[in-house]
Structures are given as structure tokens and as C-alpha cells.
Chains A and B, each alone.
Chain A
């Protein structure tokens, strides 16, 4: 008599057991799929930001070198502006997707870059990475 409730239970719970086992199997498969899918999307987003920031870095650093021997007041203003842009980028953790102010900082850097370009009378129309950047998921 003691066994009959267990047996009944087993029949009723069988569906749930099958569901649960399949769930576990699906979970393992989904984990591996999700990691790959998320990584792929992350790589392209990270690359967008890295490419853009790298481009500003290279540009600002090179112009700073090019202007290092110029001594006019205007040139030293340009140098100060370039230093300020480089400083902003040095503090910017562009490779950290968990940094909360990634967007805000990136926008400030873009603005500064435009100012620098106008001061240098350079058209900021050269290629700065593929497209804009959407960082959030």
C-alpha cells in the first residue's frame, strides 16, 4: 500500500521529468550558442569603438608631433587642445563594455575631436571606423 502513491506520482510526474531533462539538454546547448552569438555581436561593437578611438588617438598624437616645433601662439593653442583630447582618451576605458558612461564619454570625445579638426582647419570627413556605434544590447 505504501508503494501505490509513489507509483501514481511517478506516472503523473513523468511528463515533468521528460520536460526537465530536455530543458537541461537545451540549456547546455543554448549556453554555448548564446556565448558564440553574444561574442560575435560584441566583437563588432567593440571593434567599432576601438577603431574610432584608435583613429582619434593616432590623429591627435601625430598632429601633436607635427606641431611640436611650431612656436606661434596659435600653434600652442592647437597643442593644448590636442593634449586635452589625448587626455580625455587616456582616461576613457573604451574596451570595457561595463563602463556606465561609455556613451557619454564617447560623445564628449567626438565633440572635442570636431573642435580640434576645426582649429587645425582639417575636414573631419576621413574614415573613422565603420558607421556609428550602438553599444547597448
Chain B
């Protein structure tokens, strides 16, 4: 039947299916091409699966270690605040410290979430925005990159907003960040906010007349 397909596929010709002059190698070529394409697709798919399977566990192990080591500090701070909260409650159920301690506890949770988001968003591969920056430097397409960068900036912005929330919620007069500003790239706002919460906690610990040793167990994130 390949002669028929060949004939149908060439409507520009005179339509004579019994054309003796027709190129008989064409259907064979097409069939060959299809077969090769199928094999290439299969090969690629098999390769992707095999490649993934080979490194998935390695990636998991790397990520696991990183996630555990960074987030443990937030847990320590949360545990410390929870202990102080329960202790204050035991001493005096109407303690004025319960509210600020609860607020700080909420703030830690938010900062932990934003840190986690940043950890899962950043990949070891070259970032689209970085590549676009290079393209921009080469002056090839000066107008295109602006839109493409918006995803990264909105991520940064949500991080900055979260940290601003942390500060405001706990009653700080800290001014809002300018969202997505270029100079913020590479800085770590969640960490700033972490140390701010530690400072606030330390001040409450001091005002409660407790030993400042309490905060010694809280490590800085990433240490």
C-alpha cells in the first residue's frame, strides 16, 4: 500500500497513481524516517528515565542534609519560645508575656516557611535570569528579559513581604523593603529576620529575669 500513500502525499502531481515515473524510493525513505524518529524518541525517553533513576537518590540525600541542617535552627528557636510560653503560663496564666511570645512563635513559623520556599526554589543549575542577564550583557535582545524575570522577582518579593510581616506583626517599626530590588539579590532577608526574632526573645528572657544561657542552644541557620 505504500505506493498509494506516496501517490496521495503528492497532490501537486498529475494524480496518476499508475505513474511509472514515480520515485519508488520516497515511501521507503519516509518509512525509514518514521522508524528512526520513533527509535530516537524511545531512546531519549529511556535515557531520561535511566538518568533520573541513577541520581534521584543522590539528589534526595543532598537536599535532605541541606534542609535538615538549615531548618533545625528554626526548630530550636520555636522550641525555646514554646518552652518559655509554657513556663510563663505555669507561673501566671495571665502573664503579659504570653502574647508577645506567641507572636514571636508565629513569626518563626513564617520565616521558616519562607526559608524553605527559597531552598526548594533555588536549583544548582544556571538560573534563567542569570542566563538572560548574560544575553542582556551581550546586547542581543535588550527588551525581552524584563518579563521573564518576573517569576524570580515575585518569589523574592514574597520572601521580603514575609519578613516584613514578621517584623510588623511583632510590633517593630522596621520600614518595608523595597520589593524585588536588584541590590537585594544574594542577601538573605530570612536570616536577618531570624536574628531579629532571637534578639526579641533575648530581650524578653532578660526582662523575665532569666539566664541568657537559654538562647545558647539556638544556632544560626546554616551553621
Q: Which residues of A are interface residues toward B (Cβ below 8 A)?
A: 14-16, 18-63, 65-66, 68, 94-98, 120-123, 126-127, 129, 137
CA distance A48 to B214 in the complex (A): 24
Closest beta carbon of chain B to A115's beta carbon, Å: 15
User: Is B39 a contact of A18 with CB atoms below 8 Å?
Assistant: yes
Q: A102 to B36: give the CA distance in the assembly, Å.
A: 48
New A-B contacts (19) at CB < 8 Å, excluding given A26-B49, A27-B48, A54-B72: A20-B43, A22-B41, A30-B48, A30-B49, A31-B51, A32-B51, A35-B56, A36-B125, A38-B57, A38-B62, A42-B59, A43-B64, A46-B68, A47-B71, A51-B75, A62-B84, A65-B213, A68-B211, A96-B65
CB-CB under 8 A from A137, the residues of chain B are: 56-57, 60
11 A-B residue pairs with CB within 8 Å: A22-B43, A42-B60, A42-B66, A43-B119, A56-B75, A59-B80, A60-B79, A65-B213, A122-B86, A123-B86, A127-B109
- A58 engages B217 (CB within 8 Å): yes
Report how far A39 CA is from B52 CA in the complex, Å: 12
Q: Is B188 an interface residue (CB 8 A)?
A: no
Binding site for A on B (CB under 8 A): 35-36, 39-87, 90, 105, 109, 112, 116, 119-120, 123-125, 210-211, 213-214, 216-218
User: A97–B48 contact, CB under 8 A?
Assistant: no
A52 touches B75 (CB 8 A): yes
Whether the Cβ atoms of A39 and B62 lie closer than 8 Å is yes
Quick one: which of A35, A40, A126 contacts B82, CB cutoff 8 A? A126
CA distance A96 to B74 in the complex (A): 18
Per the bound structure, the CA–CA distance linking A89 and B40 in Å amounts to: 52
Residues of A contacting B217 in the complex (Cβ-Cβ under 8 angstroms): 57-58, 61-62
Do residues A35 and B124 form an inter-chain contact, with CB atoms below 8 A?
yes
Please indicate the chain A residues that have their CB under 8 angstroms from the CB of B43 in the complex.
18-23, 26
Closest CB pairs A-B (n = 8): A54-B75, A26-B47, A30-B51, A58-B79, A38-B59, A42-B63, A46-B67, A22-B43
A81 to chain B, nearest CB (A): 14
Which residues of the partner chain A approach B74 to less than 8 Å between Cβ atoms? 51, 54
In the assembled complex, which residues on chain A have CB atoms less than 8 Å from the CB atom of B70? Answer: 47, 50
Q: A28-B51, A46-B71, A62-B80 are in contact. Are A41 and B60 (CB under 8 A)?
A: yes
B47: chain A residues within 8 A (beta carbon): 22-30
B51–A55 touching, CB < 8 Å? no
Q: Contact between B71 and A51 (Cβ–Cβ < 8 Å)?
A: yes
A36 vs B85: C-alpha distance in the bound complex, in angstroms? Answer: 39
Distance (whole angstroms) from the CB of A101 to the closest CB of chain B: 16
Selected contact of B120 from candidates A28, A40, A53, CB within 8 Å = A40
In the bound assembly, the distance between CA atoms of A122 and B89 in angstroms comes to 10
